[in-house]
Structure 1
Amino acid sequence: MFDPTAFDNLKVVLEGAVYDFDLGGEIDIVDRKDLFDFAHYERKYQIQYRLKGTQGASVRLELKADAGHFLAERNGFVRGNRAGAVIAFTYLGDESLLSSRNALEEFWGQGTSWEWLTISSSHGETRVEGILTFFRVITEEMVDDVIEMVAHSIESLLK
Structure 2
Amino acid sequence: MDPTAFDNLKTVLEGAVYDADLQGRIAVVDRRDLVDLARLLREYAISFRLNDAPDPFVVCTARLSLDFAELANERLYRGQAGCRLALLFALPVRRLSVCPFIEGTLRTIWGRERIIRQTLRFPFPHERGPYENEVAVEFARLIYEENAADLPAMVPYMISSLEQLQSFID
Same fold by TM (over 0.5)?
yes
Equivalent residue for 2:112?
A: 110
CA-based RMSD of the aligned residues comes to 1.9
SS at match of 1:94: strand
Q: Percent identity?
A: 35
Deviation at 1:136, TM superposition (A): 1.1
- CA distance, structure 1, for counterparts of residue 140 and residue 132 of structure 2: 26
Equivalent residue for 1:152?
A: 157
Summarize deviations over 1:58-110 as a string: whole Å, max 9, x none: 101100001011012112387xxx50211000010101673433111221113
Equivalent residue for 1:22?
A: 21
By relative contact order (CA 8 Å, sep 6+), the higher-ranking structure is 2
SS at match of 2:149: helix
Out of 86, 89, 110, the position equivalent to 1:88 is 86
Which structure has the highest strand share of the two?
A: 1
Which sections of structure 1, spanning at least 5 residues, go unmatched?
none
Alignment of 1:23-38 (within 5 A): 23-38=22-37
Which sections of structure 2, spanning at least 5 residues, go unmatched?
165-170
Distance 1:132-1:52 versus aligned 2 partners, 3 A rule: same
Out of 137, 146, 157, the position equivalent to 2:142 is 137
Residue type matched to 2:37 in 1? F
Alignment of 1:8-19 (within 5 A): 8-19=7-18
Equivalent residue for 1:60?
A: 61
Query: Is the CA contact 2:103–2:116 (under 8 Å) kept in the aligned structure 1?
Result: no
Distance 1:67-1:20 versus aligned 2 partners, 3 A rule: same
Equivalent residue for 2:168?
A: none
Deviation at 1:30, TM superposition (A): 1.1
SS at match of 2:156: helix
Residue type matched to 2:71 in 1? F
